[in-house]
Each structure stands twice: as structure tokens, then as C-alpha cells.
Amino acid sequence: MSTTTYFIRGASLAGGEPSDLLLIDGRIAAIGADAGTHEAANTAEVIEATGLIALPGMVDLHTHLREPGREDAETVETGTRAAARGGFTAVHAMANSTPVADTAGVVEQVHNLGQRSGWVDVRPVGAVTVGLAGERLSEIGAMADSRARVRVFSDDGICVWDPVLMRRALEYVKAFDGVVAQHAQEPRLTEGAQMNEGEVSAVLGLAGWPAVAEESIIARDVLLAQHVGSRLHVCHVSTAGSVEIIRWAKSLGINVTAEATPHHLLLTDEMVRSYDPVYKVNPPLRREADVMALRAGLADGTIDIIGTDHAPHPSEAKDCEWAQAAMGMTGLETALSVVQHTLVETGMMTWADVARITSTTPALIGRLGDQGRPLALGEPANLILVDPAARWTVDPTTMSTKGRNSPFAGMELPGSVRATFFHGHPTVLDGALATPRPYTGVPA
């Protein structure tokens, strides 16, 4: 499609009144009545959007794209296709690739792959420590100054357990307004752990993963962030106690943000009774009380955002006994539907709230200047059109990700992404992949 002008007719802006949008050369050129009277509207490609909700393109602060090194599980190309279909226009690629993204060279490689793919904006996350080994700091400054302009640093998958290293990392990123995203897991308390520690683990005879292993690290780190005066982000919060600690920290003015995953908003450790490794994840699925606490934390602003923790694996890593199975679940293509099911349809959030937790706030945390912007005149045309009345049954074999390890397989979910516009270019139309944004060599 050669046109760069699109006329979106009758979309409900963030769940509000229906309106028209005119997109020209990657920006929102007119809204409402002005869109229809603009001279460019006569030659624009028309997108009928009656009954659809227009939201800012979603931003994921927590995605595993696996490339380089684990292309059998995912690539930047397949992962970003999945992201576009899920309604994302930007994703942060976690550092646990092979080699680890702990140097300027590796983060630039990931960034370049994203630019050339053209489906979404790919922002690399830099490792906090060399090789994720937790022994010495990585090239944090070099990654921040690189063409990738890294602002989020994480050893996700492994906790930065050494308090001295964590303090130094917080001090380092403060110099350029970066943030450390911590995987909160005290390693000594989770040695050999297989699932949440509780009634179900006792019945199944599986080694338990206590909530305090997460909560103790969060408590330590919010105090470190307060001492240093730096930004801390807590990855995949999963327990009610963690929510309370973060709520307390925010009441003191500590600069901490936090995320919850879609799967922790819906699934519980009861699923593990099946011994199906698709439910094996880090942190583990928790109790129903934890699920409800996470939902409440998102509703009252204690938890700031949704992070998918999209973690694809090759089939052999999940088609095995529970103890040998890899931890992780796919999530990019189901995230918005789970959010609609757990937060919108329960009356806990409006669509405007959804825009805040899936787009505006994650873009702010990641310091993405041209993402997460409101649907307003002159803003970059990163937006999605959602059909809230749609219902679909999750079938991992039809997804764009290489991973088939969706915990929602066979489940009926609400909502469907009908279109995704990435800097004014339609990457998804009529619910199907269209074309990537052409690569020009100029950053999006």
C-alpha cells in the first residue's frame, strides 16, 4: 500500500465518544469534524472503525525476543510480528540473549534488527551485570550512549542479589535518568523451587517458592532506591505482600514503579495440579488472593503497568516432565484480551485506564519520547483499533510467535486488535498482519 494518508472513521477514542482521525505522514493531522473536511481526506485510505476503540499503541517493558543466540525459540522478526498483532508499537527486548546484551555492540545489533523488521519499535534492555553473573557491572554507560540509547537495565531471569552491586547500578543509571528493572527473587530461598509454596505444592510434593523470596528483595531495593535517589522498577510482581510493600514505598515518595503480567492476573497455582509444564513460570502462578491483590493494585495505581514477560520456548522445552521443563509463557498476542477480561469486564478499569497501564506509563518509564502519546493533534500516529465485542478462542498454532507455550490455549477471551498503526503505517489490518513499516535507515 503506497498511500501514507489514512482516514479512520467513527472510532471511539479510548472508550469515549466516536470520532474521526486523519493520519498523514506518520502523524495525527486532524481529529473529529476537522478530519472529514481536511483536503487530504478525499484521497485517503478509509478505515471503517464504527464500534471500535482507538487506543495509543501499546508499549511492553518486558519482552523476550531471544535473538541473538536462541533463534529456535524466537527471533526479532517473529516476536515483533506477534507484538504488532497484539496491539504493540514498542517492545523492550530483555537482555538474556546469547550473547547477553551487556555491551554496546549487542544492544545495537538488537536495535538494528528491530529497525529492519519494521513491525514495532524495539528498545533493547541492557544487562545490569556482565553475563548476568551478578559479579560486576556491565557496560552500562556505553549502552546508554550507544545508538540504541538504552535506558532500562535488567538481569531479568536472575535477581541482582548482591546489595552492593544493586546500589552501584542504581547510582550509575541515575546519571542519565535510567532505571534498573529488578527480577525480585532471593536465590537462597528458591533453590530447587518448582511452584508457589502453599497448599497445592504440599499436596503435589513439589518444592515450594515462597512469597517472601520476592517480597524481601523488593523491600530491600525500595530502600536502596530511596537512599540513592534513583529509579527502580519491579518486574512481574506476583504476591499480595509485594503489592503492599510497593504501596508503602510510594506513600513515602520513593521513586518505584512496578508491573504485573497478564497471566498473574488470571491464572493461579491450582493450574499446576495438571502437571502441564505450560503453567511453569518465573515467578510462579500464585494463589487466588494474590491474583485479586494484583488486580486491585493496578486499579488503584500501586502497580503501574502491564508487562507481558513474553517468554517463548521451543516445543521440546515444554513437552517434557515438569521438573525438566523451562519456565515461561508467551503473552504478546493475548495480553490485551486478558486485560479486558480481568480489569475492564470486571468494572475495575475503563479503556482510558487501559491506555495508561499498557501505553502511556510504560513509555514514560522507558523514556520513549514518541511512544505512548495521547491520541491528539500532531502526535505520532502510533495507535490501535480494538473490537471489544469480539470473542475468540486462543489457538497457539495460529499465532505469529514461534512459541506455542500459551497458558491460555483453548480459552475463550474477549477483544480483538483489528488494526495497528506504527508511525502511521498499518502493520495490522482487519485483524491480520499487513506489511512492516519500510526501512529507511532513519530511526522511527
Instruction: Exactly one of 309, 319, 353, 370 is catalytic; name it.
Output: 309
Is residue 64 annotated as involved in ligand binding?
A: yes
Is residue 313 annotated as involved in ligand binding?
A: yes
Instruction: Examine the residue annotation and report whether 309 is marked as an active-site residue of this protein.
Output: yes
Is residue 156 annotated as involved in ligand binding?
A: yes
- Spell out the residues 6+ positions from residue 22 whose beta carbon is closer than 8 angstroms to its own: 5, 6, 7, 8, 28, 29, 30, 31, 34, 35, 38, 40, 41, 44
What type of residue sits at position 414? P
Is residue 96 annotated as involved in ligand binding?
A: yes
Is residue 227 annotated as involved in ligand binding?
A: no
Is residue 62 annotated as involved in ligand binding?
A: yes
Cα distance between residue 354 and residue 58, in whole Å: 10
- Spell out the residues 6+ positions from residue 39 whose beta carbon is closer than 8 angstroms to its own: none
Is residue 72 annotated as involved in ligand binding?
A: no
Among 304, 153, 170, 176, which residue's Cα sits nearest to residue 230? 170
Binding residues: 62, 64-66, 96, 156, 183, 236, 282, 309, 313
- Residues labelled catalytic: 309
- Binding-site residues for substrate sit at 64-66, 96, 282, 313
